[in-house]
Amino acid sequence: MIEVINPSHDPYFNLALEEYLVKSWTGPKNLFVLWQNQPAVIIGRNQNAIEEVNLPYLEQEGIALVRRMSGGGAVYHDSGNLNYTLVLDDSQDFANFDKFTRPVIKALKKIGVKAENSGRNDITIKGLKFSGNAQFKYRGRLLHHGTILFDSNLDIMTQVLNPGEHKIASKGIKSVRSRVTNICEHLSQDLTVEEFKEILARELLHLEPGSGTCELAPSDLQAVEALRENKYATWAWNYGHSPAFNLRKTASLAWGHIDIRLEVKHGRIGACRIFGDYFPSGEIEDLEGALIGVSYRLEDIKACLEEVGLLGYLPQIDANELARLICG
């Protein structure tokens, strides 16, 4: 296997790089990448972003959300999480997770940690999950990637992957929330994530014939940056792709109870009703109609409400507060 060196911690770039390597790369056919992200939530290809993630917390903490090519559940990345990606010029190993998780298990054995496969795509230590894996197949090429919790902030992980109290009825695929652990909690010796990265790299190099390293050429970097800008860093890909769902937001405020029902399709509001025991100052249907077609994200909803003006409908609440209620 050839290791492609990738020093980037930009989640948008790193997800774009994965697609480039499996679809457009003209270098060595069998390769792997070891990489890390700055804090980010990475959601599966078919997931509902709004259901899986605590979006207000992400916004508050400046945590990115990026949709990946492969299926599976939502995961949290930070500098304490190591990601590994393998790309092979043969898709016959699709769904053969054991082959690709074996190097991780062997690397851990070398540092005195016993790990084992659990279910189809997880690796565990003492029954606790520290690695989740997924795959993507494209025209005879196979991409396998996985997360490795080495010393990740599990408190933040719990925050970002827990949605709010409001229930969402979704047609999308839901993540399975599992008990997790960090590798560092099971070590009998001090070891950094960088040191473990080197140990894992040695195991991956021998997964397929041929070994060595290579770097991305300027033309590769340019192509990946273009894919980053035009796809992975866009709202349309990360949020607009979410499957259709129905959403209900309720609040009991000093001036009454408000019950907002939304139908959101492809990331945009398709229908809106605002129920409650409040006293509107105008025809609430006009306000509901103004929200139809607006992207389901805080800044767009707030801008719409400011343009319409709530004084003629709900004078007790301002645009920012109502927008946060709708998106909360």
Domain spans in the chain, listed from the N-terminal domain onward: 2-238, 245-327
pLDDT band of residue 33 (cuts 50, 70, 90) is: very high
pLDDT in tens, 157-169: 988 986 434 333 4
**Which residues, in sequence order, are CB contacts of 65 under 8 Å at separation 6+?**
40, 41, 42, 43, 49, 53, 55, 58, 238, 239
Q: What pLDDT shows up at residue 140?
A: 87
| Euclidean distance between CA atoms 298 and 295, whole angstroms | 9
Q: What pLDDT shows up at residue 265?
A: 86
pLDDT in tens, 178-214: 589 999 999 999 999 999 999 999 999 988 888 899 9
Q: What pLDDT shows up at residue 176?
A: 39
Length of the chain: 328
Looking only at the bridges linking them, the beta strands covering 116-118 and 122-125 are antiparallel
Read off the tokens for 1: 């296997």
SS3 65: strand
Which among 86, 102, 205, 100 is positioned nearest to 141, based on CA atoms?
86
Of residues 137 and 33, which shows the higher confidence score? 33
pLDDT band of residue 125 (cuts 50, 70, 90) is: very high
113, exposed or middle or buried, with CB in 10 Å at 0-12, 13-18, 19+?
buried
Q: What pLDDT shows up at residue 94?
A: 73
- Buried b / exposed e over 259-291, threshold 16 CB at 10 Å, is ebebebeebbbeebebebebebeeebeebbebb
Q: What pLDDT shows up at residue 246?
A: 77
Q: Report whether 268 contacts 240 (CB < 8 A).
A: yes
Task: Name the CATH superfamily for 245-327.
Answer: CO dehydrogenase flavoprotein, C-terminal domain (3.30.390.50)
Say whether pLDDT at 244 is over 70.
Answer: no
Q: What pLDDT shows up at residue 170?
A: 43
In which residue are the tokens 């609040």 written? 251
Phi first, then psi: give them for residue 46, nearest 5 degrees: -110, 15
Of residues 13 and 52, which shows the higher confidence score? 13
Most confident of 68-77, 80-89, 255-264: 80-89
Q: What pLDDT shows up at residue 242?
A: 54
Q: What pLDDT shows up at residue 51?
A: 65
Task: Name the CATH superfamily for 2-238.
Answer: Bira Bifunctional Protein; Domain 2 (3.30.930.10)
Say whether pLDDT at 127 is over 50.
Answer: yes
Of residues 220 and 73, which shows the higher confidence score? 220
pLDDT band of residue 45 (cuts 50, 70, 90) is: confident
Range of lowest pLDDT (18-27, 46-55, 140-149, 161-170): 161-170
Between helix 11-23 and helix 218-227 the angle, nearest 10°, is 110
| Euclidean distance between CA atoms 90 and 137, whole angstroms | 9
Of residues 59 and 162, which shows the higher confidence score? 59
Q: What is the pTM of this model?
A: 0.74
Q: What pLDDT shows up at residue 283?
A: 79
Half-sphere exposure of 61 (CA within 13 A, CB side): 17
Q: What pLDDT shows up at residue 103?
A: 96
For the chain, give the mean pLDDT: 88
2-238 and 245-327 have identical folds: no
67 to each of 70, 101, 214, 237, 273, how far by Cα in Å?
9, 23, 27, 7, 29
pLDDT in tens, 291-321: 999 999 999 999 999 999 998 788 889 999 9
Distance between terminal CA atoms of the chain? 46
| Euclidean distance between CA atoms 39 and 239, whole angstroms | 18
